[in-house]
């Protein structure tokens, strides 16, 4: 079903409503007509540019996500209308002005309504909690799990899984291997170990990683349901699909296993399960069993999928850019020659590697559509980029997103924004970053990524460990069209198989 079919469907329903001889339908006719007229002509958002039909019904935006075009379509719309603000639904705007970032996401900013749907059977997670009386104390608990000293505790576990990753690549040396699966297994092993103290056995091959497949079906369903606002309140009570159920059941099973272990091992859930922590005001526990389930579900989505898709895309970029690959290898070689270690700590100082990872987070971000927010009831005002004399005003209670892809590829902030040029971050081409405020790969503010440092640790060490021993080239099975066709943005990207060869360095 594409936009044309949706339009045809809408026209058919409208025709039925308008031509029906049944008298009751006339009140529906009046209501529909008035709603459409109000949305088209009298909405406070009517003056913002954007496709007319999108202003009439959210279904058009939903269709972009159903077809997996998501953040890429938003970028096209900004370009097509040559506007920093476009109307993408009756009560929703997409904004790519860097000046809006701090204003929109500052303090306890209102979260967008779609988060409601990601609750598991009605229970909140850190990410879905729109009420800061809940989110703030929960966030403190989550942050305790990611302090520097906790990250140090996790370091040997991360290094253990990186060494397994190296073994996996050694086994497939010289043959074509699917990097997507390798990366999914790698990050899943880390996530399961650090969150649930479990050996998921993905890299050992003792278990098959079909979590990710379920997860993407889950995300594809969630993004559609999350945008069907009139149904949101009913969502926890509506039947869910078998895929959604299966995904939730798997997260619940992992959590149940973790609960049995109590405090015998330090991991992320050690903090969430701690009975000593004070619950938020008005609650008897910090997390109910349902809320723990919901947070476990979040952990699987946030902790695994984002990092694996970024890494996989980065490996493709390196296979396509031998010069960048060589520079990275040179840096790793020099680091080792001067006595540096390939460890979580040792790889932190690799300047070019950090630049390459920054560039991957900018251009190959796993959340191209950005974060759902809403304007405060009094509305949102921000200066217009490049003309601070002028201001933009967005009325109150409007759903707004700042698409990561559109803002992080904008030429005004990142010249040659759609090219992969790590030098913009390495001090060799400072003009490549004209406005660093537009670099928001991990989000911004109260809900920004709590796992950022862990993600960076994983990526830096995996990259250095692999490039020390191997070069990367695209395999014969790699097909550019297939890669592009397989690439979907369901608010979190889903990417296709990436066939490459890891060739031993000579
Ligand atoms: C490349 C890797 C990653 C990227 C680009 C990334 C990006 C993001 C972004 C943009 C958000 C904000 C989401 C929102 O406001 O709705 C977020 C939130 C979050 N991330 Fe990450 N993330 C990554 C890896 C991780 C890892 C490895 C973990 C945990 C181990 C993690 C845990 C979380 C959690 C728990 C939240 C929710 C925070 C809150 O709502 O307060 N992320 N991440």
pLDDT tens-place string over residues 35-62: 888 888 888 999 999 999 999 999 999 8
Would you say residue 417 lies in a domain? yes
- Whether 23 shows a pLDDT value over 60: the answer reads no
pLDDT at 232 (0 to 100): 60
Q: Into how many domains does the chain fold?
A: 1
Q: Which tokens hold the place of 161?
A: 């899984």
In a domain, 14, yes or no: no
Tokens 């913009």 map to which residue? 424
Tokens of 321: 């850019």
How deeply is 486 buried, as exposed, middle or buried, from its count of CB atoms within 10 A (0-12, 13-18, 19+)? middle
Probe target for ligand 1 pocket from 226, 451, 460, with the most ligand atoms within 8 Å of CB: 451
The torsion defined by the Cα of 497, 306, 162 and 206, in degrees rounded to 10, comes to -60
Average model confidence (pLDDT) for the chain?
A: 90
Q: What pLDDT score was predicted for residue 60?
A: 92
The whole-angstrom distance between residue 494's C-alpha and the CA centroid of its chain comes to: 10
In a domain? residue 54: yes
Residue nearest to atom 1 of ligand 1 (CA): 307
Distance (Å, rounded) from C-alpha 452 to C-alpha 448? 9
Tell me how far apart the alpha carbons of residues 200 and 377 are, in angstroms, rounded to a whole number: 46
Instruction: Please give the structure tokens belonging to residue 282.
Output: 């008005």
The lowest-confidence range among 214-218, 333-337, 456-460 is 214-218
pLDDT of residue 493: 92
The answer to whether residue 175 is domain-embedded is yes
State yes or no: pLDDT of 167 exceeds 70: yes
Ligand 1 contact via 371 beta carbon (within 6 Å): yes
**Does 302 map to a domain?**
yes
Complete DSSP assignment for 331-374: HHHHHHHTT--SSTTGGGG-HHHHHHHHHHHHHS-S-TT--EEE
DSSP 441: T
Q: Quick check: is 7 in a domain?
A: no
Residue 9 — very low, low, confident or very high, per pLDDT cuts 50/70/90?
low
Q: Are 298 and 272 in contact (CB under 8 A)?
A: no
Q: Is 336 annotated as a binding residue?
A: no
Instruction: Tell whether the model's pLDDT for residue 404 goes beyond 80.
Output: yes
> How far is Cα of residue 371 from the mean position of the Cα atoms in its chain?
8
Residue 21 is assigned to a structural domain of this protein: no
Check pocket membership of 449 for ligand 1, CB cut-off 6 A. Answer: yes
Pocket test for ligand 1, best of 302, 356, 359, 458 (most atoms within 8 A of CB): 302
Instruction: Give the structural domain span for 90.
Output: 43-504
Atom of ligand 1 nearest to the CA of 372: 16
CA of 430 to the centre of ligand 1 (A): 28
In order of 58, 66, 74, 199, 410, the CA distances from 69 in angstroms are: 15, 8, 8, 35, 18
Residue 34, pLDDT score: 83
Residue 452 maps to which CATH number? 1.10.630.10
pLDDT exceeds cutoff 70 at 436:
yes
What is the four-CA torsion angle of 467, 468, 469, 473, rounded to 10 degrees? 20
Ligand 1, atom 21, residue with closest C-alpha: 449
Lowest mean pLDDT among 15-19, 263-267, 327-331, 360-364: 15-19
Weakest mean pLDDT among 95-99, 234-238, 308-312, 384-388: 234-238
454 lines ligand 1 (CB under 6 A): yes
Best CA proximity match to 300, nearest among 194, 202, 205: 194
Indicate whether 412 belongs to any domain.
Answer: yes
Q: Residues 194-236: pLDDT tens digits? A: 999 988 889 998 877 777 777 777 777 777 777 776 666 666 6
pLDDT at 111: 95
Q: In terms of DSSP bridges, do strands 92-95 and 399-401 run parallel, antiparallel, or are they unpaired?
A: parallel
The pair of structure tokens assigned to 460 is 């830096």
Q: What is the 3-state secondary structure (H, E, C) of 217-280?
A: HHHHHHHHHHHCHHHHHHHHHCCCCHHHHHHHHHHHHHHHHHHHHCCCCCCHHHHHCCCCCCCC
What pTM does this model have?
0.92
């Amino acid at each position: 079903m594409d936009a044309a079919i949706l339009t045809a469907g809408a026209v058919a329903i409208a025709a039925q409503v308008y031509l029906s001889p049944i008298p009751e339908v006339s009140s529906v006719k009046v209501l529909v007509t008035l709603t459409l007229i109000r949305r088209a002509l009298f909405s406070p958002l009517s003056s913002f540019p954007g496709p007319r039909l999108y202003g009439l019904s959210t279904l058009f935006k939903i269709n972009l996500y159903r077809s997996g075009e998501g953040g890429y379509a938003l970028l096209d719309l900004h370009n097509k209308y040559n506007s920093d603000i476009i109307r993408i639904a009756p009560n929703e705007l997409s904004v790519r002005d860097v000046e809006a970032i701090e204003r929109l996401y500052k303090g306890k900013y209102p979260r967008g309504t779609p988060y409601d749907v990601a609750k598991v059977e009605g229970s909140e997670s850190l990410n879905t909690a729109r009420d800061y009386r809940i989110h703030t104390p929960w966030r403190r608990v989550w942050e305790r799990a990611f302090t520097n000293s906790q990250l140090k505790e996790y370091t040997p576990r991360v290094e253990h899984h990186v060494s397994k990753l190296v073994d996996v690549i050694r086994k497939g040396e010289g043959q074509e291997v699917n990097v997507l699966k390798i990366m999914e297994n790698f990050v899943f092993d880390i996530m399961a170990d650090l969150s649930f103290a479990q050996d998921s056995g993905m890299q050992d091959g003792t278990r098959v990683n079909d979590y990710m497949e379920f997860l993407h079906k889950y995300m594809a369903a969630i993004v559609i349901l999350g945008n069907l606002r009139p149904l949101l309140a009913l969502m926890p009570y509506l039947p869910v699909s078998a895929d959604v159920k299966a995904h939730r059941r798997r997260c619940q099973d992992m959590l149940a296993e973790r609960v049995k272990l109590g405090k015998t091992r330090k991991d992320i859930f050690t903090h969430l399960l701690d009975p000593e922590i004070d619950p938020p005001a008005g609650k008897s526990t910090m997390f109910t069993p349902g809320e723990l389930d919901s947070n476990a579900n979040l952990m699987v989505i946030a902790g695994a999928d984002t990092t694996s898709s970024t890494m996989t895309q980065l490996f493709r970029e390196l296979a396509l850019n031998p010069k960048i690959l060589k520079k990275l290898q040179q840096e790793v070689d020099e680091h080792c020659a001067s006595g540096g270690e390939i460890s979580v700590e040792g790889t932190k100082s690799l300047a070019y590697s950090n630049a390459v990872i920054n560039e991957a987070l900018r251009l190959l971000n796993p959340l191209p559509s950005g974060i759902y927010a809403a304007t405060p009831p009094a509305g949102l005002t921000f200066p217009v980029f490049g003309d601070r004399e002028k201001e933009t005003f967005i009325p109150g209670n409007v759903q707004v997103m700042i698409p990561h892809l559109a803002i992080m590829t904008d030429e005004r902030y990142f010249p040659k924004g759609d090219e992969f040029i790590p030098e913009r971050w390495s001090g060799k081409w400072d003009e490549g970053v004209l406005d660093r405020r537009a670099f928001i790969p991990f989000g911004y503010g109260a809900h920004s990524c709590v796992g950022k440092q862990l993600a960076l640790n994983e990526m830096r060490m995996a990259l250095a460990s692999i490039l020390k021993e191997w070069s990367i080239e695209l395999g014969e099975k790699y097909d550019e069209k297939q890669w592009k066709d397989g690439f979907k943005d369901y608010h979190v990207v889903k990417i296709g198989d990436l066939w490459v060869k890891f060739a031993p360095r000579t």
